[in-house]
Homo-oligomer: A and B are copies of this chain.
Amino acid sequence: MIVAFHGNGIYYFKEYGVGRLNKNNQRNNPKKKDKYYSMLNAAGAVFARLGFHKATISLIAAEAGVADGTIYLYFKNKDDILYQFLSYKTAYVFDKMRKAAASSDDAEVKLRNLIRCHLKEFQEDKDMAVIFHSEVRNLRDLEPQTKNISKIYLDFLTDIIETGQVQGIMRRDLYLGLAKRFVLGSVEGVINTWIAADGKYDLVAMADPLVDLYMNGIKHRE
């Protein structure tokens, strides 16, 4: 029986349909849920450490403290583990970001909060950060049709910049498509550097200087 849980707490049976749920309805059985998440997190740790390719099912199972075969009761195959890991993390992180960006009416504050949230969540979940940043190819292969992760993020930025233009605090002559990528790319670059430095320093402290750069650029002014 192949089962999958989701971040919102509801889970579903992938292969055999909900009809096969046992009569006692384990939808909220906390033990099962725990086991699922411990496998997901174990997978995240192993993927982050070795990369998707060099990670083996045996290692993931060992890290989660279950038998190899057990993995296949919860996931369709190895790809599916990565897919579910990413879905779970993406849903979680975007929810946070959405709230952060909505926390103010002022576009510059929105931007600052979004960036701060981004840096904070990645700092607090380095496995996720590593996987997002180094399994780029798999991300594309796994959800080629779906709009990818950055797409959603770029939409936040579109809103923010357009708001800022209306408010008269951001330039109207911007090439919006480029400006968005300029912002996203540089946050990612900063996170990459932090990962390369093995997460040694405080990432969130970069938020304010970064937003200052977005707003004011590097040109000297009187």
Contact surface of A with B, Cβ cutoff 8 Å: 51, 53, 133-138, 140-141, 148, 150, 161, 164-165, 168-172, 174-175, 178-179, 181-190, 192-193, 196, 206, 209-210, 213-221
Contact = CB atoms under 8 A, between A and B. Distances in A.
A209 B134 contact: no
Nearest to A133: B136
A192 B192 CA distance: 15
A190 B178 contact: yes
22 contacts: A51-B138, A133-B136, A148-B196, A164-B218, A165-B220, A168-B220, A169-B219, A169-B220, A170-B219, A171-B216, A172-B220, A179-B213, A181-B186, A182-B210, A182-B213, A184-B189, A185-B187, A186-B186, A188-B188, A188-B189, A214-B217, A216-B219
Contact of A216 (B140, B164, B189, B217): B217
Number of identical monomers bound together in the oligomeric complex: 2
Contacts of A219: 169-171, 215-216
A168 to B, nearest CB: 6
A10 to B, nearest CB: 31
